[in-house]
Structure 1
């Protein structure tokens, strides 16, 4: 019969850890692919946007506005970014309760018959011995897998770089 220590050693912990690691890697890949698909969708979705409005204040204090026609820009260009996640922690918790019981039962039955006669005595003894051994083992186990995901900033190169080229003539002094 295996000992309690052996029962604990038989738990395939390395296999559980390996499967947890592979599961986290597969889940991380799926999360990253989802974020990339979201970035593509944000880059492809266009909305009309007025990029600049100029407010002119005249010498008399009157205010007028000059604005450009709307330009189609992507949602990514106006600052909507996909959310990226990463696994910050993964825990396997295994609890095992092993109970082993052994009991032995021995029954002895003795019966005697005695005959007493004239100057003679005889007896017969009958013995009936039975043995009964019982073994019992109860194993209770629970396991729990806990993961914690946290949002992280998008990769730095996903955000578009805004460059301004002003070709207007500059006032000379």
Structure 2
């Protein structure tokens, strides 16, 4: 499926995809947390409905709502990476140095064709997000 977009919309899409790597990974993490939250909210709502049905006599026996979670998420991103420098300026407006920023763009057919990018030069980033149990309370709290 192909969407028709004008030149300005295409520029906005490209600018949203080409971002510092940390920003892209943060966005993936936030999206995963939001998805987990939605799963949890659904299980809570289901359990409340079950509890009401038992209390009203609609259900004869008690059951528990299922809970779902992502025990592990593996990400594999094929990216075009480049570096740029951002000036570090003091209070007087003088440049004191440059901070390197790693910029990434996902490799897809549109990017490859738009920038005549040789995919053999792409980087592959692999990340794993693993579910862990919550931290126990610290004594004295």
Report if TM-score (shorter chain) is over 0.5: no
Structure 1 or 2: more strand by fraction: 1
Structure 1 or 2: more helix by fraction: 2
> Which structure's CA Rg is the greater one?
1
Give the TM-score of the pair, scaled to structure 2. 0.40
